[in-house]
Amino acid sequence: MSKIIDGKAVSQSVKDRIKEKAARLKEKYNVTAGLAVIIVGDDPASRIYVNNKKKACEYVGFDSYEYALPEETTENELLELINKLNNDERIDGILCQLPLPKHIDENVIINNISPNKDVDAFHPVNVGKIMIGDYNFLPCTPAGVMELIASTGIDIKGKECVVVGRSNIVGKPMSMLLLHKSGTVTICHSKTKDLKAECKRADILVAAVGVPNLIKGDMIKEGAVVIDVGMNRLDSGKLCGDVEFESASNIAGYITPVPGGVGPMTIAMLMQNTLTAAMINRNIVKE
């Protein structure tokens, strides 16, 4: 039976670490990091995420600024707000909650957030820095996955790593982070000819494709580390991941549950990026 990787426990340790650093920043430099979160419209899932981010800011000792805009907000109005926040010295990080309404171009919005305040690490400048391994910020979910893998004590170096999914938010940056740790990385997607064979040889398997229970136990190598990034809601209302937990947990060495695995890590790593941004924007050298 697999060992469960407890995302709640790992994320709590990350937030506790950030809380200590934030307190030192306040004591030594009289600096309090500030995070601005923009939400357009009233999507229930987005509202839950925004509330959780606000709670995390409160816990670690950051200032939190929420900008809740109506669904009919125009692209130009949103750009005006982002420009204002780019120039606001209280704000270290800007996060625009996705998805945005269809009449707003997400790429235009992302590209107009200052790279030094882009705590989602979606701006092309930050994406390019990740590619060459010289980065300030990491996308929150892939960064959280790396923390979860580290918590197992398993060294990525030389391991066969398979990432299922090629999104800009998770799949692509995830593969780069594993590569930076000297993993041998394969990216799988909807056109992969033999997904089972590719997954079966993975020492570390990251599933991030958004298809419920796609990865079965017979697709997993004995003793592998299995990280399930998927968050899917079945017709029954039950949450499940991209990995069929019951069959996979009999084969894998380590596995993340859904919920309670990767999810809590995303917000923890957002707090890390915000702390980093506060230091960059105030020219404070890392201690």
pLDDT tens, residue by residue, 193-220: 999 999 999 999 999 999 999 999 999 9
286 has a pLDDT exceeding 80: no
Catalytic residue among 15, 92, 97, 221: 97
Q: Please give the structure tokens belonging to residue 230.
A: 């998927």
Lookup result for tokens 């996308």: 139
Residue 97: DSSP 8-state: P
Q: Please give the structure tokens belonging to residue 84.
A: 């204002």
d(CA 218, CA 246): 11
Say whether 12 is catalytic.
no
What pLDDT band is residue 61 in, cutting at 50, 70 and 90? Answer: very high
Cut 0.85: pTM above it: yes
d(CA 91, CA 269): 18
CA 160 to chain centre: 22
Say whether 120 is catalytic.
yes
Tens of pLDDT, residue by residue over 238-273, are 889 999 999 999 999 999 999 999 999 999 999 999
CATH of 27-115, one of 3.40.50.10860, 1.10.10.10, 3.40.190.10, 3.40.50.970: 3.40.50.10860
The pLDDT of residue 285: 78
225 has a pLDDT exceeding 70: yes
In DSSP notation, 200-242 reads: HT-SEEEE-S--TT-B-GGGS-TT-EEEE---EE-TTS-EE-S
Tens of pLDDT, residue by residue over 158-184, are 999 999 999 999 999 999 999 999 999
Residue 118: DSSP 8-state: B
92 has a pLDDT exceeding 70: yes
Catalytic residue among 53, 117, 159, 221: 53
Residue 282: strand, helix, or coil: coil
Mean pLDDT along residues 42-46: 84
Largest CA distance in the chain: 56
Lookup result for tokens 């910020």: 137
Catalytic residue among 92, 120, 228, 242: 120
Say whether 16 is catalytic.
no
Mean pLDDT, the chain, rounded, equals 96
Residue 254: strand, helix, or coil: strand
Q: Hey, where are the domains in the chain?
A: 27-115, 140-264
**Residues 48-54: contacts with CB under 8 Å, at least 24 apart:** 49/97, 49/267, 50/97, 52/267, 53/95, 53/267, 53/270
Q: Please give the structure tokens belonging to residue 96.
A: 């625009």
Sign of dihedral through CA atoms 270, 91, 283, 17?
negative
Give percent of the chain above pLDDT 70. 99
The pLDDT of residue 42: 87
- The CATH architecture of the domain made up of 140-264 is 3-Layer(aba) Sandwich (3.40)
Altogether, the residues listed in the chain come to a count of 287
**What are the residues whose beta carbons fall under 8 Å from the beta carbon of 50, sequence distance 6 or more?**
37, 39, 66, 97
Q: Please give the structure tokens belonging to residue 224.
A: 């592998």
Mean pLDDT along residues 63-79: 97
The pLDDT of residue 91: 98
Tens of pLDDT, residue by residue over 95-135, are 999 999 999 999 999 999 999 999 999 999 999 999 999 99
